[in-house]
Amino acid sequence: MNYRRYLLWLIVILTLVAVFIDFPSELSLKFEVMGFKVDQKISRPILDFQIGNLRFFRDLEIKRGIDLAGGSHLVFQADMSQIGAEDRDSALEATKENIDRRINLFGLAESLVQTSKLGENYRLIVELPGITDVNQAIDLIGQTAQLDFRELSAEATEAATLGDFLPTDLTGKELNRAQVKFDPNTGQPTVGLEFSDEGAKKFGEITGRNVGKPVAIFLDEFPITTPLVREKITSGQAQITGEFTTAEAKLLSTQLNAGALPVPIKVVEQRNIGAILGTESVRRSIQAGLIGLIMVILFMATYYGWLGILADAGLVIYGLITLMLYKLIPVTLTLPGIAGFILSVGMAVDANILIFERMKEEVRAGKPRPLAMELGFGRAWDSIRDANICTLITCFILFNPFSWSFLNTSGMVRGFALTLGLGVLLSLFTGIVVTRTILRTFSRKEAKQ
């Protein structure tokens, strides 16, 4: 059928794109044959294009975690002496959120920030993969959050920008706390602000001269919200309303509390992880993966003959597409992540084994080979689907995308879950679509001979 031909061409094009993206950023070719010399470097271009206001940029390099790239492991002690017992948990969470935002602005998007509470010790654990200037990062992270309220300058026009907002004398010191509330009329989440007596006086003056105008709230020189003032507020109680989801309102209150409940932190532990350890781990992991892959390929080719060889071709395509997605997403690869990928390779072959065994049963029952192939794919699908759904549910729990506190939050475990889950999804595609299309194409040619 024509759609099978189109599907085969789609697989070929997808494979060629994967080969291009998987190609090393720079490859040196240097050899001499019969007086003919070649000494050239081949470079793969980066992806950098813009569609409207959306810019897509990927350097197409594998992002490595701290155990592979090296880096720094830092532990900060939070000083809670000036924070009330009822506010300490929220203050620690606010400090974590602030640190996470700071190091991402610093260019450490693969960093990990976790909180730890043991008795009266409140700590923050920060991992910075690949960072070279550790002291600069520590100085940036260790700053106490600075929150302030700003109003538009007298010269600002309707097309005002953030640069037109000028600082007032109201800061986070006068903001007691921010918390999520719900509008009694609409049920929509809002963010409630509670000021001290001095803060209420200052806030009343600011809102009084800015009715109908926006007032911006900055955290560490970064604007987090610019609500519009509807009326003068002198009670010291204010609400920020908008089309918030509960998660967005909680995030905004956490950011505000980072400045309202300033928590001084200091480094109590610093441990450097050398890149040599990461390089050696990568080398051994790749070596183990290649040995396992070769054993799987040889087993399939030996036991299933030409069927196994075609399945091996699908397995190679699976590996190319997987690596391509790692670079495009991008996935931060750690040692557990590599383990997840190697495990997913075995699961990718598992689907083929189920299909081939079912095909052999149909052939023994007297079915012609083309029909046995179709029945094998159709009747093995239920087992393949159920097994992979169970694995995907486990990956979802381990990855914990909603950061539920009663589940795992470890970055290493999440890396394992991500690569395994991605591998399982791709194995379904290659096992059911790629391998099936290859088998249909070559079995038809074999039948004609």
State residue 393's pLDDT score: 95
Lowest mean pLDDT segment, chosen from 144-148, 205-209, 275-279, 325-329: 275-279
Domain-ending residue, one of 248, 273, 298: 273
Calpha distance 284→291 (Å, rounded): 11
User: 3-state class of 157 per DSSP?
Assistant: coil
In a domain, 128, yes or no: yes
424 and 309 housed in the same domain: yes
Residue 213: burial class (beta carbons within 10 Å; 0-12, 13-18, 19+): middle
Q: Is the pLDDT assigned to residue 199 strictly greater than 90? A: yes
279 and 426 housed in the same domain: yes
Residue 352 — pLDDT band, cuts 50, 70, 90? confident
264 and 281 housed in the same domain: no
State residue 107's pLDDT score: 54
In a domain, 17, yes or no: yes
Residue 382: burial class (beta carbons within 10 Å; 0-12, 13-18, 19+): exposed
The domain spanning residue 265 has which CATH number?
3.30.1360.200
Q: Is the pLDDT assigned to residue 448 strictly greater than 50? A: no
Domain-ending residue, one of 273, 303, 324: 273
Average pLDDT of the segment spanning 193-221: 92
Range of the domain at 87: 71-273
In sequence order, what DSSP letters do the residues of 385-415 get, joined into one string? HHHHHHHHHHHHHHH-TT--TTS---HHHHH
pTM strictly above 0.85: no
State residue 389's pLDDT score: 93
Q: Is the pLDDT assigned to residue 368 strictly greater than 70? A: yes
Q: Are 427 and 318 in contact (CB under 8 A)?
A: yes
Residue 376: burial class (beta carbons within 10 Å; 0-12, 13-18, 19+): buried
221 and 301 housed in the same domain: no
Residue 229 — pLDDT band, cuts 50, 70, 90? very high
Domain tally for the chain? 2
For 22-56, write each residue's pLDDT tens digit.
887 776 667 677 677 767 777 766 776 667 656 66
